[in-house]
Amino acid sequence: MLFLYEYLIAPFVEFAFMQRALAGALMLSVGACPVGVFLMLRRMSLTGDAMAHAILPGAATGFLLYGLQIIPMTLGGLAAGVVVALGAGAVSRLTIQKEDASMAAFYLISLALGVLIVSLRGSNVDLMHVLFGTVLALNNDALSLIGTITVVTLVALAIFWRGLVAECLDPLFLRSVSRLGPPVHFIFLGLVVLNLVGGFQALGTLLSVGLMMVPAAAARFWTSRIEPMCLLAVAIGVASCISGLLLSYHASLPSGPAIILSAGVVYLLSIIAGTRGVLATRVRHASHRTA
């Protein structure tokens, strides 16, 4: 029991920075993982990755003007994410280029521009902070921001749940019977940007999408229903945050990558042992052949 306490509980009891890191990571899991489920079901997983890179120039501009202050970097990242989302959508509607191609172009330009902006003022340490985050250095302002984003996300999901589910299953049908199709789509993209901005504070621009997508991808191997999938994705995200923070503390590893790699382990196990994974699929195929 003493061993379990020292390795699993003591770090979160004895150190305030671990408590803040745990609180921020858990709130991110609650808000971002359900959004990741909808991204995956819409086959927009790479769009989330593109949007994560898209916020970098705005956050870097806030850093260039005000240093490592939360509000300027957050507002800059939010503005950049909205501009890229709207720009990519406009290009796909006004030209022959599809949205995935325009999003890829925008995100590559954004990534290069953001790194250049950070390099104008900051050091390599500052660049690593922006790209990979510092979940162990979250302060009260960052926790307040993440908590607000989580609440807004949960409220929006509750209000627009049926529209989001309908658009995932049959977007053309939703647009034919309701005018909610386009508004729901842009509201959803707004939620994606918001959660990436919140994740940016803890995990950086390159890893924030990992907590959004990897638990969602793992949950897909266990259920086909959306509600249980969202709950399971949150549970996987929470477990990954706890195990990643403990691994970071005891092994002196970077906290952000440790969290995402913990989720990656669950994803690999889900591929093999999930009820919709490799083993279960082989068993079903074998039973069908024998029948």
**Over the stretch 108-167, which tens digit does the pLDDT of each residue have?**
788 788 778 777 765 665 566 666 667 777 888 888 888 999 999 999 999 989 888 887
Q: Which residue has the higher pLDDT, 233 or 208?
A: 233
User: What was the pLDDT predicted at 167?
Assistant: 78
45-56 mean pLDDT: 74
Asked if residues 100 and 42 have their Cβ atoms less than 8 Å apart, the reply is no
16-20 mean pLDDT: 89
The whole-angstrom separation of Cα 28 and Cα 32 is: 6
pLDDT over threshold 60, residue 291? no
Number of structural domains (the chain) is 1
CATH code at position 53: 1.10.3470.10
Buried b (16+ CB within 10 A) or exposed e, 52-74: bbbbbbbbbbbbbeeeeebebbb
Could you report the per-residue pLDDT of 54-102, keeping only the tens digit for each?
788 888 788 778 776 777 878 888 888 888 777 777 777 677 777 667 7
The whole-angstrom separation of Cα 171 and Cα 182 is: 10
The whole-angstrom separation of Cα 112 and Cα 291 is: 57
- Mean pLDDT over each residue of the chain, to the nearest integer: 82
Instruction: Determine the structural domain holding residue 16 and report its residue range.
Output: 2-290
The whole-angstrom separation of Cα 273 and Cα 280 is: 7
Q: Model-level pTM?
A: 0.85
